[in-house]
A and B are shown apart, each in its own frame.
Chain A
């Protein structure tokens, strides 16, 4: 019996997992080491996820629409609800009201949360941009509003036009 695309993606998320951030951040904070390894694990995981989701769904275009589709699937399987703000050929902006950093222990200082927020977003964003938009370049920006106590965090993918 041939598996449906949904089941294949479900299996994919079981195959490629990374440590839960609410557990790993206190460990790395205590040891003061291991950040590079976390960054590498996250990058590898997202690269594999993006490549295989593209393959399962037959997405070949290297543009923002493909990135939106892949990102939509990743967030839905990760249980994150996103609210699109802007989408055009070069820019995809959305907000989230919940993110893994919010569930990191209250005793972890804000600067540590902020550092790991950068690490996670940079690794995941780079993986998606490298896998989906390459050879075109892109950027990912985030405002860290959630960990600062605001209700929503805004995240933006943007493709960069080479001169």
Chain B
């Protein structure tokens, strides 16, 4: 969802930028009257693009350095997490709990006829499945680290859709530190900030809060239908065990400032990625055009090159604005 929003944002910025460039170019085109003016404009914008490219390249080197530094810091911490924080017993116990919850809530969702209640149980079931998959990925990494074979026991509990998600997650981990992305996802699914009263926020509530809500509901339903007593006791016990186990992981994750480090990595990654490519398109391309035009510009060809010079002049103004945005992003890393 956020990716879609980002893409839409970038696309709108792109469209607005193109619009402004053409308006400015059209305005400037009428202003350039002489060959001398055009020559000055072309040399100045070429110098501006050259400077911008230099600064952006320096920024890229800085970001690359920061990215490597963060990745090695996280890389150093990851073996410790796999060896101690995520013990084999702990992962197996957590997975058993999630299987129990998934089974219980799938049954509850199937038996209830009230839409709101069904939605809550289905949401819990989906989140427990997602947690199950994420822990299965961690187990796979752990076994690999210890040089053990994955028995595939957890995989046998997945349907084809879950297995696809599992494979995708597993393959997405190319570097050791990327296991922290999975752990962060687990913690945020478990303890997403919850407001208890509004529907909008309950849709984004954490699994822990959803389970507590379901326990309250089951408790109330006991006064109507005694059959929910056993399920409530089972869910209450499972929730208590899971809370203890996951809160230990969460505590350690926050003590090690992993969420902050990951967020810095994401910012550095964005600067290395999309911001750099935008710089290449909007700065390197017009710079090359200018460099090609410069030797060809004579009084005879001035009229022919006039619109192009206008466009690259406008782009140089946009480039300076982009540079400010780029520097702002770098300072936030």
Contacts and interface: CB of A to CB of B under 8 A. Distances in A.
Contacts of A103: 198-199
Contacts of A100: 197-198
Interface stretch (A11-19, A110-118, A152-160): A11-19
A88 interface: no
Contacts of A105: 115-116
Nearest to B118: A23
Contacts, number: 91
A18 B218 CA distance: 11
Given A77-B195, A99-B197, A100-B197, A26 B116 contact: yes
B108 to A, nearest CB: 12
B217 interface: yes
Nearest to A42: B216
Interface of A: 1, 13-14, 17-24, 26-28, 30-31, 33-34, 36-38, 41, 77-80, 98-100, 103, 105
Given A14-B208, A26-B117, A79 B197 contact: yes
A99 B195 CA distance: 12
Give the top 10 A-B pairs by smallest Cβ distance, nearest first: A79-B195, A19-B216, A103-B199, A17-B212, A100-B197, A31-B224, A37-B223, A23-B116, A19-B217, A78-B197
A28 B196 CA distance: 19
B114 interface: yes
Contacts of A24: 216-217, 220
Residue of B197, B201, B221 most packed against chain A (CB within 10 A):
B197
Contact of B216 (A14, A18, A36, A98): A18
B216 A41 contact: yes
B202 interface: yes
A42 B36 CA distance: 81
A47 to B, nearest CB: 15
B116 A13 contact: no
A18 B219 CA distance: 10
Nearest to A104: B116
Interface residues of B, number: 28
Given A19-B220, A23-B116, A78-B195, 5 more contacts: A27-B220, A34-B220, A37-B219, A41-B219, A79-B195
Nearest to A17: B212
Contact of B196 (A18, A30, A33, A98): A18
Contact of B116 (A22, A33, A34, A41): A22
A19 B228 CA distance: 15
Interface of B: 114-117, 119-120, 194-199, 201-202, 208-209, 212-213, 216-217, 219-225, 255
B93 to A, nearest CB: 21
B115 A28 contact: no
A20 B120 contact: yes
Contact of A14 (B197, B201, B209): B209
B209 A37 contact: no
A23 B198 contact: no
B209 A79 contact: no
A5 B8 CA distance: 40
A36 B255 CA distance: 44
Contacts of B117: 23, 26-27
B219 to A, nearest CB: 7
Contacts of B223: 33-34, 36-37
B205 to A, nearest CB: 9
Given A14-B209, A23-B117, A105-B116, A79 B220 contact: no
A34 B115 CA distance: 19
B195 A27 contact: no
A77 to B, nearest CB: 7
